[in-house]
């Protein structure tokens, strides 16, 4: 079973980003609201493309990074 299957995180994230988010305990978009973009981007495996996709997913729910 995919660790992200029950998540509302964008499905088009790369596997390295998915693994980095899971390792950091980020399971859904609500978890991201306590992270800054800078801290998120510092995770190994999370690059600018992943941050952009996550920012867009948050914006669609009228949420933002911390």
CA dist 4 and 27 (Å) reads 7
Q: Kindly provide the b/e burial profile for residues 26-56, where b requires at least 16 CB atoms within 10 angstroms of the residue's own CB.
A: bbebeebeebebeebeebebbeeebbebbbe
pLDDT by residue for the chain (66 residues), tens only, comes to 344 457 899 989 999 999 999 999 999 999 999 999 999 999 999 999 999 999 999 999 999 999
Report pTM.
Answer: 0.87
- The two structure tokens encoding residue 41: 């981007």
Where in the chain are the domains?
Answer: 15-61
């Amino acid at each position: 079973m995919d660790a992200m299957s029950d998540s509302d995180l964008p499905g088009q994230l790369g596997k390295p980003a998915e693994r980095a988010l899971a390792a950091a305990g980020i399971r859904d978009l609500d978890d991201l609201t306590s992270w800054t973009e800078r801290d998120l981007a510092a995770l190994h495996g999370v690059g600018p493309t992943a941050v952009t996709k996550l920012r867009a997913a948050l914006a669609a729910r009228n949420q933002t990074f911390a």
